A = this chain, B = another copy of it.
């Protein structure tokens, strides 16, 4: 499993033509947490709109969903071997012991968010809400529930 992630990370690195392999574990942890933090802030107003707590704003839906789609492509290579510790993290050990499952969960969440961005682009409130309803299933249900701890561990 670890070999799979390492190979995938190496592939991405090669494709980008750049070497990121020397990032320290604490930097990787901080980076992936930062990505998730920015995603969370972008999700909040979409959640409020989806739940009818804020009026639907097509521009915000489109802008924020596009940002989340872009950001959600970024953190996965920062869960590479050796990044399971080095700074406080909520990443469960299963991220590394069940790496293939984790990668699949990550891919599912990316698909849900890509669908959300596509729906938001139409400017249609109903399509946005329908697509948003699918996001928690893959992000929370598929990934956070299984691969994110409730509390930070060292």
Binding site for B on A (CB under 8 A): 16-20, 30-31, 33-35, 37-38, 41, 44-45, 48, 54-55, 57, 60, 67, 70-71, 74
Contacts and interface: CB of A to CB of B under 8 A. Distances in A.
Contact of A18 (B17, B34, B60, B71): B60
Contact of A38 (B19, B35, B57): B35
B45 A34 contact: no
A26 B31 CA distance: 18
A71 B38 contact: yes
A41 B31 contact: yes
Most central of A16, A30, A44 by chain B CB within 10 Å: A16
A57 B14 CA distance: 11
A72 B18 CA distance: 23
A31 to B, nearest CB: 6
Nearest to A36: B34
Contacts of A31: 37-38, 41
